[in-house]
Structure 1
Amino acid sequence: MLACTRIGAIHSVVFGGFASPELAKRINNCKPKVVLSATCGIERSDKIVKYIPLLSKALKISKHKPKAVIVYQREQLPVLLDLKLGFKCWYEEVASVQELTDAPSAVVDSNHPLYILCTSGTTGLPKGVIRPCGPHLVSLSWTIRNMFGIKPGEVFFCASDLGWVVGHTFTCYGPLLEGCTTVLYEGKPVKTPDAGSFFRVIQEYGASIFYTAPTALVVLRKEDKEHNIVRKYNLDSIRGYFMAGERCSTEIYKWWVEHTTGKRVDGERYHYDEIKGIAVDHWWQTESGSPMTGICIGVSEDPKEIAPIQFGSAGMPLAGVDLRVVKAKDHLNEDEVVHSHIEEADFNEVGDIVVKLPLPPGFFTGIWENKKVFFSSYFRKYPGYYDTGDMGFVDKDGYVHITSRCDDVINVAAHRFSTCTFEEVVLEQNGISEACVVGRPHDIKGQIPIIFAVLEKNMSAKEKSELVRSIVTKIRADIGPVASMLPENVIFVPRLPKNRSGKILRRTIRVLIDYAGKHRNDLSEKLPIPMPPTIEDPDVLKDTWLIIASLVNPGSVELRSKM
């Protein structure tokens, strides 16, 4: 990545483990001159992802053919390279040029693309987000200093894959830009060898900032709910813990503060009495390139001048982000445009989150070779605004609450509910480690909620029944009877389908439920949709499909026999 930047070349890093067809789409999209790959990725000591078979197949089916494919042989998985596909050995290529002088630093225009990073598109084709060099570096410099408060020479530990925007921003470019040391971490937060891996790295390298996703915190809570493992480590070097990637529920947020401070947490806000170990949930997107909301812990050395964290919130809008919440228009379809009827929502009223133009420095400047999608996906619905595609609200104190993606909303008899509203209630129950709520089609009400929950430990049938009753009662009390929460729609599952980053595949589950509802009389054991390219464990999704199919068609003996 840094070498490409030095010579003015554009890089496009792809998450390791993409299925060959998805990898081929990305090769066709950005048309690389050179493809660089390792032979494998290591998730755990007992789990290695083989890259070369995936890459070889992708190169065979892609229309674009790169001039060279350079492979770095990892000692964990050396492979015999296929010369017919143009594969070359990294070591040999480096040796052949070691006598040459260093390449000079290229001088490029400020808006020259630094990189292309593909994000998922609604058509199944990747959207190549274009990041401009100069504005991005300006944004990163401000963010590293003010939001994180990290100083030159300190250590920044971001536990993200380089294939995601977080890895680009806070593993590669951000820390190095400010003269910090960055930690490259490969593997999961648990079973490497245990749930203390993150804390071991923090202690060993004296990290000032630790950055991860809320899904990692969920996993850690499951493994170390009583805080026994974390107590083994000295975390005095940490100034801040930062979480992003998806919404951090109030339950998980509070647990993490208790986990890292050793103090009991009550109430909806928490104010640290020193700038040490501050836990900050924040929000941004691949398109923005750096955080849009958060709490800045680097603006003062006085903890009294640092805003308190608010559980369930992603902080406040950062400099340059003119964030607004507009009232959602249920009647609009994807092709309609809101003209002069944009109405801002009231405090605490959920709506579509937008950013008023002009956008702050560092935002994407286009979609690679697709100007039409750039406009239609982000700027058409609300002229004069960037449409984030997320929903949420701003409270009276200015804290931003991201509730869901715009398509993660359940419409029950014309009443709109964010799925996270239900998940918050479920996760408050003792005995639940993870939960996913989506809408299930209903003939009269349109949709009703269905809950998929993972238990912390095995329970008897009686205990499960009591837990279901407690969940339903709590939802009716906190959300209301209009939510139409039925006991038969609380489903306990061994595991939830996730991608390799640990995100629950909510949209995929919703698609399966919709499919089952439309084809209830023609269901089979076979998964009716393509396997997601970044699936963590395909068998979990297959099992989820069997559960969904048996719910919709309980009379199917063949399906029930598989449960």
Structure 2
Amino acid sequence: MDYRIRSLEEYQTAYQKSVEQPEEFWAGIAENFTWRQKWDKVLNWNFEEPRVEWFVNGKLNITENCLDRHLEKRGNKLALIWEPNDPKERFIRYTYRELHEKVCQMANILKSNGVQKGDRVCIYMPMIPELAFSVLACARIGAVHSVIFAGFSHTAMADRINDAQAKVVLTSDGLNRGPKQIPVKRVVDEALETCPSVEKVIVVDRVGWAVNMVEGRDVWYHEELEQVDKHCPAEEMDAEDLLFILYTSGSTGKPKGVVHTCGGYMVYTDYTFRNVFQYEESDIYWCTADVGWITGHSYLLYGPLLSGATTLMFEGVPTFPDPGRFWQVIDKFGVNIFYTAPTAIRSLMASGLDHVLSYSLDSLKVLGSVGEPINEEAWHWYHIHVGKERCPVVDTWWQTETGGIMLSSLANITPTKPSHAGFALPGVQPILIDQEGKEITENEQEGYLCMKFPWPGMIRTTYGDHERCRQSYFSTYPNLYFTGDGAKRDKNGLWRIIGRVDDVINVSGHRFGTAEIENAINQNKHIVESAVVGYPHDVKGQGIYAFVVCGEEAPTNQENLRAEVIETVVDQIGKIAKPDKIQIVSGLPKTRSGKIMRRILRKVAEGDTSNLGDTSTLLDPPIVDEIVKGAL
């Protein structure tokens, strides 16, 4: 059965059924997968404990659905294209048959190194094919993978390994990122000084460095490969068995281990991938996200492979060897669907149009945006210069905790509107809540975004601490999942994400989402990117402090630039929203996944810089010192 929605009417019909008969709706989708044993019941749930179980007592293995079931018809179809950091290095292509063999070999290596069903395996690797093999190999033998972005500090890594009590670490000697080479194995060695649970380390030779190998603990992947078979039976898993843990930052310093399970996550990532991107059998699909964060899990690996797609994996960065690299790769492989983050788009905007106009980009059919709301200026630039005004932009809203896309337009099917995510996907039941916890039913109103019914891809628990899961997501509003985001519906019911609730500034009784002010500031032609936070103000309660990054042609007179920014905000929103302080900076403190660390900026704005917390895991730690020195 083809469960891709092909018209607005089909979307409306599917959505209505998913709300009125959710169990029947999702059972119909789930029927399309390979199950060892069918479920007894589609759904058990309550949001008080919380307890959510989909496809109860169903038995399966997600890799049989990603790989084995495609072998008969798609065995020779490209599954994975790997493009290295250096454009002079040869790319590698894997068919579904070849990828199946590689995953089985990696699974056998894990087994020969003592990994069993239920064990936790930490993966700390660059964006190389072995990272994909490792993730899928864990799933094949029933081990729980925990991917840690290969850029986190040894302290951050140790925290995550110890929380999960990981038994094995998969890593590489080093990694290539742009013009730099980074010693990955050295970070692992430092982390493992405080990680007694780790028994084995499997090391991939990526850059050819001599590294410290601890006897009895560390083994080379290429040496292990010579001793294993290309066949590995898939472990039978329960639909609610753990598939992976992925750590995400919380409101407190300690990261939360978000848990996703096998059955529901499988059904949800496949369904959302096919429908949001309107994937066709011959398409080449490229998600630029690192596998170290949820987008890489759901929409670089699992979603595309479940759908039998060809997925592209890129080792490098968008600006190396020059800011045309993304566009060069798109033309090189004839990419049809391109999914990236607003942060990347804005940084490429700042590099000027020449780098984009040098490439045809004729193959593109669909553009996607993920990670944060995309501001209007970046949306238009992306749509006009990358998509040539013929590619729909799907602005997807979702979270690590949701497992998959929740709010988005479906490419060429449902309406798009700049700075709006779009309608809810079938099976997703969003609701707006006011401060008293009452539902806001009218459109053109702002409130807190909650979900009133479970969907298959949602978080089940936080690893080892179910109470933290309850407190974080289910305790704020009874019987609702609280996203932590503010949102607004327009007159047609399209959803707009305003920003995190803790990113809302109350100026003289008026509430402004930081994303809304940033969107306005970014309309200024000289501004590449901005971040806005609130700070205590004697008259207004909260003032607005803006950190702005300029393009190359910005005025040298900073006061003139500040006046221009204020004029832009007043023009876009009104005088009430004009920033009180505007600090011009060369960059913003960001995590490796591109998320701006507003917590740090808030402390700078408040003049409380004595305890900024651990900044070593940021993409560019020295930027924090520069911002502190230039604080207004």
Q: What does residue range 140-155 of structure 1 map to in structure 2 within 5 Å?
A: 140-155=269-284
Counterpart position of 2:180: 47
Counterpart position of 1:479: 573
Aligned identity (percent) is 35
Counterpart position of 2:506: 411
CA contact (8 A) 2:364 2:387 kept: no
- In structure 2, what is the Cα distance between the partners aligned to 1:444 and 1:128? 41
Aligned-CA RMSD value: 2.0
CA contact (8 A) 2:298 2:404 kept: yes
- In structure 2, what is the Cα distance between the partners aligned to 1:484 and 1:185? 40
How far does residue 482 in structure 1 lie from its aligned partner after superposition?
3.5
TM-score, normalization by structure 1: 0.84
Q: Which amino acid aligns with 1:466?
A: N
Q: Which has the higher contact order (CA 8 A, sep 6+)?
A: 2
- In structure 2, what is the Cα distance between the partners aligned to 1:262 and 1:151? 21
- In structure 2, what is the Cα distance between the partners aligned to 1:219 and 1:461? 20
- In structure 2, what is the Cα distance between the partners aligned to 1:429 and 1:162? 33
How far does residue 10 in structure 1 lie from its aligned partner after superposition?
1.1
Q: Which amino acid aligns with 2:307?
A: E
Counterpart position of 1:236: 362
Unaligned runs of 5+ in 1: 264-271, 298-302, 330-340, 518-522, 552-563
What CA deviation, in whole Å up to 9, does each residue of 1:487-533 have, x standing for no partner? xx12212222222233322222113333x25xxxxx7xxx6323334
Unaligned runs of 5+ in 2: 1-134
SS of corresponding position for 2:630: helix
CA contact (8 A) 1:316 1:400 kept: yes
How far does residue 101 in structure 1 lie from its aligned partner after superposition?
6.3
Counterpart position of 1:73: 205
How far does residue 314 in structure 1 lie from its aligned partner after superposition?
0.9
- In structure 2, what is the Cα distance between the partners aligned to 1:392 and 1:222? 29
Match of 1:282 among 396, 402, 424: 396
How far does residue 284 in structure 1 lie from its aligned partner after superposition?
0.4
- In structure 2, what is the Cα distance between the partners aligned to 1:484 and 1:259? 30
- In structure 2, what is the Cα distance between the partners aligned to 1:388 and 1:66? 34
CA contact (8 A) 2:415 2:422 kept: no
Q: Which amino acid aligns with 1:56?
A: D
CA contact (8 A) 2:591 2:618 kept: yes
SS of corresponding position for 1:83: coil
**Structure 2 residue 423 is matched with structure 1 residue 316:** yes
CA contact (8 A) 1:431 1:456 kept: yes
Counterpart position of 1:554: none
**Structure 2 residue 308 is matched with structure 1 residue 175:** no
How far does residue 229 in structure 1 lie from its aligned partner after superposition?
2.4
CA contact (8 A) 2:175 2:181 kept: yes
Q: Which amino acid aligns with 1:217?
A: I
Task: Please list every run of at least 4 consecutive aligned residues from structure 1 whose deviation after the TM superposition is greater than 6 angstroms.
Answer: none
- In structure 1, what is the Cα distance between the partners aligned to 2:346 and 2:257? 30
CA contact (8 A) 2:403 2:458 kept: yes
- In structure 2, what is the Cα distance between the partners aligned to 1:2 and 1:205? 24
Counterpart position of 1:343: 439
- In structure 2, what is the Cα distance between the partners aligned to 1:361 and 1:262? 36
Counterpart position of 1:327: 434
**Structure 2 residue 366 is matched with structure 1 residue 252:** no
CA contact (8 A) 1:156 1:207 kept: yes
SS of corresponding position for 1:12: strand
Counterpart position of 1:446: 541
Counterpart position of 1:425: 520
- In structure 2, what is the Cα distance between the partners aligned to 1:132 and 1:537? 34
How far does residue 320 in structure 1 lie from its aligned partner after superposition?
0.6
Decide whether aligned partners of structure 1 residues 459 and 156 sit closer, same or farther in structure 2, where only a CA change above 3 A counts.
Answer: closer
SS of corresponding position for 1:11: strand
- In structure 1, what is the Cα distance between the partners aligned to 2:474 and 2:589? 32
- In structure 1, what is the Cα distance between the partners aligned to 2:153 and 2:309? 35
SS of corresponding position for 2:245: strand
Q: What does residue range 292-303 of structure 1 map to in structure 2 within 5 Å?
A: 292-297=406-411
- In structure 2, what is the Cα distance between the partners aligned to 1:59 and 1:366? 26
- In structure 1, what is the Cα distance between the partners aligned to 2:553 and 2:335? 37
- In structure 2, what is the Cα distance between the partners aligned to 1:77 and 1:449? 50
Counterpart position of 2:19: none
- In structure 1, what is the Cα distance between the partners aligned to 2:283 and 2:563? 51
**Structure 2 residue 263 is matched with structure 1 residue 121:** no
**Structure 2 residue 287 is matched with structure 1 residue 158:** yes
CA contact (8 A) 1:22 1:533 kept: no
Q: What does residue range 128-139 of structure 1 map to in structure 2 within 5 Å?
A: 128-139=257-268
CA contact (8 A) 2:443 2:491 kept: yes
CA contact (8 A) 2:242 2:260 kept: yes
Aligned positions, number: 498
How far does residue 460 in structure 1 lie from its aligned partner after superposition?
5.1
Match of 2:323 among 195, 213, 216: 195
